[in-house]
Amino acid sequence: MAASDETKGGETWENLHSYASKGIVPGVTREQVTDFYNQWAIGGYDKMIHDGKDNALEVFQQALQDLFPADSRDKAVVLDVGAGTGRAGQAMLDVGFKVLDGLEPAREMLKVAERKEVYRHTYTCYLTGQPSHIPADTYDCVTVAGVMAHGGLPCAAFEEMCRIVKPGGYIVNIMRRAFLQEVPDYAHNWGPQRERLEREGRWRVVRMEPYPNHFMGHEGLLMVLQVLQ
Ligand SMILES: C[S@@+](CC[C@H](N)C(=O)[O-])C[C@H]1O[C@@H](n2cnc3c(N)ncnc32)[C@H](O)[C@@H]1O
């Protein structure tokens, strides 16, 4: 059956593709992205996105299981950045994580996550390169699932993640691989920032691996970074 013939929750794969391509475009501001996700949440984000074709959450879930042995997961304190409707959070709950906070600027997305009771605390805000209200060394892990995109998480936010993750803790990021070249902020700043943080002994790269079918047929990239200080 052709992808466009399939229907999930009344939505076709083609609709999903054109919906996402409308909002996640070059030059979009972060406020426009937030409006877009608010509308999408009201319009049924979860139903539309659940197509069972992409690998993103499976890769994400497996990476977290590899980092945290089963008997440590219920104690690990995790912040899910760009929590959305809680899909990545739910994937973590499903493999034994229990203490999850969610940070998300689009209030309507977060309301859906709150109804599902995925997160312990929720924060309605952006993560940026500026220090947030979160104290230093709070989390064992910060997760970022599908948040690096046009108008999405700025590169500088990785500095802030280094501050709020405990030494020895992890940052796990999954994203569309091509965005590292296509989004101007990432194209200019990701490489130098990664190298600087390595040189300064603030993090080490544990995994940097492409994978197929991240979302809508696009290749994905899994990053696992360990915060050292
Ligand atoms: C594609 S959705 C992914 C949601 C969720 N992680 C999932 O896997 O379903 C991207 C989310 O990132 C959020 N986002 C965009 N920029 C952000 C930022 N600077 N800080 C935190 N969240 C951001 C958006 O509002 C949106 O809900």
CA-CA distance, 22 to 108, in Å (whole number)?
19
Q: How far apart are CA 98 and CA 206, in angstroms?
A: 24
Express each pLDDT in 121-170 by its tens digit: 999 999 999 999 999 999 999 999 999 999 999 999 999 999 999 999 99
At 148, the amino acid letter reads M
- Ligand 1: distance of its center to the CA of 144 in Å? 8
Q: What is the pLDDT of residue 15?
A: 64
141 Cα to the center of ligand 1, angstroms: 17
pLDDT at 37: 94
For ligand 1, atom 13, name the residue with the nearest CA. Answer: 82
Q: What is the pLDDT of residue 24?
A: 82
pLDDT the model gives residue 191: 98
Tell whether the model's pLDDT for residue 14 goes beyond 70. Answer: no
Query: Which atom of ligand 1 is least distant from the CA of 24?
Result: 1
Give the per-residue pLDDT at 116.
Answer: 97
- Euclidean distance between CA atoms 167 and 157, whole angstroms: 17
* Number of continuous H segments (helices) and E segments (strands) in the chain: 9, 9
Residue 9 has what pLDDT? Answer: 45
pTM: 0.93
Beta strands in the chain (DSSP E): 7-8, 11-12, 77-81, 99-103, 122-123, 139-145, 165-176, 203-215, 218-227
Residue 123's closest CA among 138, 107, 139?
107
The residue-averaged pLDDT of 27-36 equals 94
